[in-house]
């Protein structure tokens, strides 16, 4: 079979009974793949760009809190997310938590994070390597890590407006 541009192809369909592949569509299927790939990368860049900035800690629930959810003023912290590549970014985090003895302990960490279009979050930093999921609702970023269990927890951050 030959199309209007003189391209030849063999038409084989494996469709359920009663459905047939429209021959005019076949040459365009292979053209769509780069467009879809470009579109996915564009969506990822847009998602990453929405994450960039500085956040203040809203709540923390993890092994370091005994599984309890702590909120300010019991905990405080900041998270800064920067960009490295289309779906990879730089992160730095500073969290102050109660030490159980009437004082506080400050955790300072930095490293990288990777996001994907399905909402997955991978963090590799000096203190934590964890996999999980993230969501961004308006200016609230929620990161829930599940692997490894030792690093599992949920941290909610509120975006800080900068001038």
Question: What domains are defined for the chain?
Answer: 49-159 (2.40.128.120)
Backbone phi, then psi, for 157, in 5-degree steps? -125, 145
Checking if the pLDDT of 26 tops 50, the result is no
For residues 16-20, average pLDDT: 44
Checking if the pLDDT of 27 tops 80, the result is no
Checking if the pLDDT of 70 tops 70, the result is yes
pTM of the model: 0.68
Compute the mean pLDDT over every residue in the chain, rounded to the nearest whole number: 76
Checking if the pLDDT of 69 tops 80, the result is yes
DSSP 8-state class, residue 63: G
Q: Specify the range with the lowest mean pLDDT, choosing from 35-39, 84-88, 127-131.
A: 35-39
Checking if the pLDDT of 98 tops 70, the result is yes
Q: Is 53 left (phi over 0), alpha (psi -120 to 50) or beta?
A: left
Residue with the bigger pLDDT between 8 and 136: it is: 136
pLDDT tens digits, 111-149: 999 888 788 999 999 988 899 999 988 889 999 998 888
Residues in the chain: 163
pLDDT of 7 reads 53
Checking if the pLDDT of 49 tops 50, the result is yes
pLDDT of 5 reads 56
């Amino acid at each position: 079979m030959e199309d209007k541009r003189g391209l030849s192809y063999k038409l084989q369909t494996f469709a359920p009974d009663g459905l047939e592949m429209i021959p005019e569509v076949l040459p365009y299927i292979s053209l769509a793949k780069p467009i879809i790939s470009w579109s996915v990368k564009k969506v990822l860049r847009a998602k990453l760009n929405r994450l960039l900035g500085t956040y203040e800690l809203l709540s923390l629930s993890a092994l370091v809190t005994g599984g309890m959810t702590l909120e300010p003023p019991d905990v405080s912290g900041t998270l800064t997310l920067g960009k490295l590549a289309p779906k990879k970014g730089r992160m730095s985090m500073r969290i102050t938590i109660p030490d159980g003895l009437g004082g506080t302990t400050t955790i300072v960490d930095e490293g990288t994070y990777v996001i994907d279009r399905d909402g997955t979050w991978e963090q590799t930093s000096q203190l934590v390597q964890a996999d999980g999921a993230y969501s961004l609702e308006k200016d609230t970023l929620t990161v829930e890590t599940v692997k490894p269990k030792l690093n599992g927890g949920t941290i909610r951050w509120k975006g800080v407006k900068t001038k």
